[in-house]
Chain A
Amino acid sequence: MNSIFQDANRQQIANRRRKDVIIHLVFIVATSIGVLALCALIIDILMDGLSRLQPDLFTNFPSRKAAGSGMKSAIVGSIYMLIIMLPVSFILGVGAAIYLEEYAGKNRFTRLIQLNISTLAGVPSIVYGILGLTLFVRLLAFERSLLAGAFTMTLLVLPIIIVSAQEAIRAVPKSRRDASFALGATKWQTVSRSVIPSSISGILTGVILAMSRAIGETAPLVMIGAMTYINFLPTSLKDSFTVMPIQIYNWISKPQLEFKELAASGIIVLLALLLIMNFSAILLRNKYQKKY
């Protein structure tokens, strides 16, 4: 059996193959580190926080003593902020995406906007906090209010919404626009009745992901001053407020162990909310992929 597969290179080939197998293992180990980190994080938090995950957490305001302290005002603050942000960032973000994909000419100015959006996506969130502090808190005199916080976060998530909405709109086949135009639709009719309905689940997926980014963001809101014991629920846009990550930060920075546990249970609530949001985004995406 002296075939051509048994030449003098056999040893060399075997070495190369062994190297391939070893490095393959290295790659697997490297990849599992990321997965293990996530597991460690979740286990760590569950172990610290599960014992404090009691009704008090949802029904009580924060207090100086860890016992009986809750995050009611923070949960409500986060939800209020989302409610204000959602329509504003949806309209601005999707509007900008439609403009860039459907209306903008291929010129320098369009390229500038596009470049600008991708650059804004990389600006550290704390810088948005500085902008919000100067523009909304001071200049427009919103004070350290819910409104100032929601607007700052809107600017922060806009690039995310724009980019994902652009991708969704770009995925709508040209033939579908042609069909609409050929029936005598105007540009806006085509956009509003054919392009947007065809891309809406993709757009919404991006919006939900942007909202979950906003709900976990801490630094910009610390900047604009959403960081005090809030033992009331905001009743107007101009009221001061706090949000979940800030309440958690507050608890983390206290030295006592009980506050650490409180922080961990707060994190469980925050992560649960994010999980729900991400899950609905995945559901939407699946629906969207089925369509094409």
Chain B
Amino acid sequence: MDRTGSRLLPGLVSFVAVLAIWELAGRYRLVNTVLLPPPSMIAATLWQIVRTGTFLAPLGQTFLLLFVGYALACGFGIALGIAMGRSEPIYCFLEPLIELMRPIPKAALVPPLFLFLGFGATMKVTIVALAAFFPILIATIQGVRGVDRIALDTARTFGCPPVRMIFKIILPASLPMIVTGMRVGLGLGLIVVVLAEMLAGEGGLGYLILDMQRSFAVRQMYAWIVILAVAGLTINAVFEFVEARAIPWRSK
């Protein structure tokens, strides 16, 4: 408990510092307070939202969408990454398509996605999954290619079947890279989940933030952005916790 306390303290200090500067800037009219209200005003609004529990339903909706999309991205990204990292023919077959798809902004993909998937949950999950998929895939390919060849040769000499090799040698050895990719993918997924909710508004944090922005309820908008940031921090903390268990040698 004491250790986590000393770990959290510096972060808290920098948060307080940033908030103090922001507050003073607002108090002394250095910034336009209509567009950027001081934290104290946002905090009051935020307290209203938290106290009444109105944040729970939208937050749950956003989390669910993120979870489904991200799980799909991890599953497909890692599986395809291993296949592409191990097999040159598969790599050559899929690389052009993937590299052509990757730089296309998700916003530009919206018209065809609307056309084929409608504007319900399927479309939103697809956008989230697509966004998180590419970093995971690329990191997995690179991780798999970096696996020690001697280890593989040894395993093969001893007649280790491919499936076993994947789970016993390739996956563990490329795990650090995969996890780095998963982390980047999670970050992107978190951004895109909010964007997806902004596209087809049916609730969730993204819809609320956009809604507040449209109705010029600036304080409420920032309050929801704070909730989003806290949600992001929480997700990252959970990820780090799991990461520390999965790759103990990394958490020095």
- Our verdict on whether A and B bind, yes or no, reads no
Please give the residue numbers on chain A whose beta carbons come within 8 Å of chain B beta carbons, in ascending order. Answer: none
Please give the residue numbers on chain B whose beta carbons come within 8 Å of chain A beta carbons, in ascending order. Answer: none
